[in-house]
């Protein structure tokens, strides 16, 4: 416990203790000094005697260690740079790619052409590192032939695309292959008319296709 005394008490101490001076040392202003310019301490408590000039800035050891510590500047902490945060995965918008069946297969066939494999290789590379919600391969046929035949043909073509993507490392349980038959044509009813000719087959080409729809996330590079 620090005991503060003003100069009024200095006269009392001088009267009780002959030889003690109240002279002030310029280096120790704020404390009562004796004739040898030493700081006077209480004989009972060992505490220093402060005068009216004392301020925390004039504290000295061992008189006021607490006050001295209070005045000491707080140590500067080195700035800590937080580690760079890992970028969040990039959200891929739903993507729907439409491949012409004539580009993938010969007419009325479900075996992939060599150029079709090259096209699907590009798709497989695009999907590298992606986490899929779903990959949907949907086969479509034109209206030439019976509805039942076109349904089976569209299913075989969709499964051919799925099997090839699986062979390139795409998880099979992430790909759903379905056949739509002739139920979702791109052409309008009055667009292609006439008998079965090369002209009619060419006109119905947009209806023969395999749509691949992908939804998922891909980590940024």
pLDDT at 120 over 80: yes
The domain ranges of the chain are 7-71, 90-218
pLDDT at 209 over 70: yes
User: Rg for the chain (alpha carbons), in Å?
Assistant: 47
Q: Which single residue is written with the structure tokens 């005045």?
A: 71
For residue 57, give the DSSP letter: G
**Six-digit token pair at 10?**
């200095």
Torsion of CA 123, 125, 126, 130, to 10 degrees: 120
| Mean pLDDT (whole number) for 171-183 | 93
CATH number of the domain located at residue range(s) 90-218 in this protein: 3.30.1330.60
At residue 48 the predicted structure's pLDDT band, cuts being 50, 70 and 90, is confident
Q: How far is CA 23 from CA 4, 8, 62, in A?
A: 17, 14, 20
**Could you tell me the strand order of the sheet in which 130-140 lies?**
90-100, 209-218, 130-140, 175-179
Global pTM value? 0.56
* Angle subtended by helix axes 114-126 and 147-167, to nearest 10: 60
Angle, CA of 185, 191 and 197, to the nearest 5°: 95
């Amino acid at each position: 416990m620090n005991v503060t005394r003003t100069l009024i008490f200095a006269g009392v101490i001088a009267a009780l203790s002959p030889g003690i001076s109240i002279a002030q040392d310029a280096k120790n202003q704020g404390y009562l000094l004796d004739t040898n310019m030493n700081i006077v301490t209480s004989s009972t408590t060992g505490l220093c005697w402060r005068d009216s000039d004392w301020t925390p800035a004039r504290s000295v050891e061992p008189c006021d260690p607490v006050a001295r510590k209070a005045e000491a500047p707080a140590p500067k902490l080195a700035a800590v740079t937080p580690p760079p945060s890992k970028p969040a995965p990039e959200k891929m918008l739903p993507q729907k790619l439409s491949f012409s069946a004539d580009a993938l297969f010969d007419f009325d066939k479900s075996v992939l052409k060599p150029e079709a494999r090259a096209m699907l290789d590009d798709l497989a590379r695009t999907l590298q590192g992606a986490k899929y919600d779903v990959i949907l391969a949907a086969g479509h046929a034109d209206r030439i032939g019976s509805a039942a035949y076109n349904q089976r043909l569209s299913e075989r073509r969709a499964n051919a695309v799925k099997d090839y993507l699986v062979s390139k490392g795409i998880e099979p349980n992430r790909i759903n292959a379905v056949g739509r038959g002739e139920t979702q044509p791109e052409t309008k009813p009055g667009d292609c008319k006439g008998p079965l000719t090369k002209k009619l087959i060419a006109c119905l080409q947009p209806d023969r296709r395999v749509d691949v729809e992908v939804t998922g996330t891909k980590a940024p590079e």
